[in-house]
Amino acid sequence: MILHQYKIVFGGTMGSGKSTAIKTLSEVEVVSTEALNTDIESHEKLLTTVGIDYGEITLEDDVKVGLYGTPGQDRFDFIWAVICKGAIGTIVMIDHAAENPLLDLEQYIQAFQPFGNNIVIAITHIDRKPERTFSIYRDWLSAQGLNYPLFFLDARQQDDVLLLVETLIATIEVHYGLIN
């Protein structure tokens, strides 16, 4: 494993494309780890296998980035705080073709905001529901007074996913300067 300068977290709904995005970008074989489910009150099983994806990418200027994919289910959200520790930002992925993507967006933004405000929103699966208007997301963000970068993409497209990562890094560098 490399000593990466940057750590980026992929959060968002199940099936939105988090694992796909990490696999698309990673230059090492993506690993999935197991985590201990300590949330016993709401769960009968003490030990649950939680899929956390891990991949790595080296950008053109030799900046190394660790890519962490969070499990999507609400019942694993205690893991998110652990994964987000030390991360420079989060990519919140939302499946446009899901039943209520706006509600999903609201929930995931609320969930990840406490870990840091460097968030990029990635709306995926747009090819599967083109009849649903894309402006709902910007309208919602604007109504909330939020100004996170918003992208529409396919998680299987490397260039699209790379743009998300570069946007997160550019934002952190604009605000905090270059990190060595």
Ligand X SMILES: Nc1nc2c(ncn2[C@@H]2O[C@H](COP(=O)(O)OP(=O)(O)O)[C@@H](O)[C@H]2O)c(=O)[nH]1
Q: Which residues contribute to the site for Mg ion (CB under 5 A)? A: 18-19
Based on the shown chain and the rule CB under 6 A, indicate whether residue 74 belongs to the binding site for ligand X.
no
Nearer to Mg ion, 19 or 167 (CB): 19
The interface region with ligand X, picked from 18-26, 41-49, 79-87, 130-138 by CB under 6 A, is: 18-26
CA distances from 141 to 78, 98, 102, 121, 137 (A): 26, 19, 10, 10, 6
Nearer to Mg ion, 19 or 26 (CB): 19
Nearer to ligand X, 125 or 172 (CB): 125
Q: How far is the CB of 104 from ligand X (least distance, A)?
A: 12
124 contact, one of ligand X, Mg ion, none, CB 5-8 Å limit per kind: ligand X
- Considering only residues 32, 81, 156, 173, which one is a binding residue for ligand X as defined by CB under 6 A? 156
Q: How far is the CB of 175 from ligand X (least distance, A)?
A: 28
Based on the shown chain and the rule CB under 6 A, indicate whether residue 155 belongs to the binding site for ligand X.
yes
Write the secondary structure of the chain as one string of H (helix), E (strand) and C (coil).
Answer: CCCCCEEEEEEECCCCCHHHHHHHHCCCCCEEECCCCCCCCCCCCCCCCCCEEEEEEECCCCCEEEEEECCCCHHHHHHHHHHHCCCCEEEEEEECCCCCHHHHHHHHHHHHHHHCCCEEEEEECHHHCCCCCCHHHHHHHHHHCCCCCEEECCCCCHHHHHHHHHHHHHHHHHHHCCCC
Kindly state the number of chain residues that form the binding site for ligand X, as judged by CB under 6 A. Answer: 15
Based on the shown chain and the rule CB under 6 A, indicate whether residue 15 belongs to the binding site for ligand X.
yes
How far is the C-alpha of 123 from the C-alpha of 137, rounded, in Å? Answer: 9
**Under rule CB under 6 A, which residues in 100-129 are in contact with ligand X?**
124-125, 127-128
Nearer to Mg ion, 69 or 101 (CB): 69
Based on the shown chain and the rule CB under 6 A, indicate whether residue 70 belongs to the binding site for ligand X.
no
How far is the C-alpha of 35 from the C-alpha of 19, rounded, in Å? Answer: 17
Interacting residues with ligand X (CB under 6 A):
14-20, 72, 124-125, 127-128, 154-156
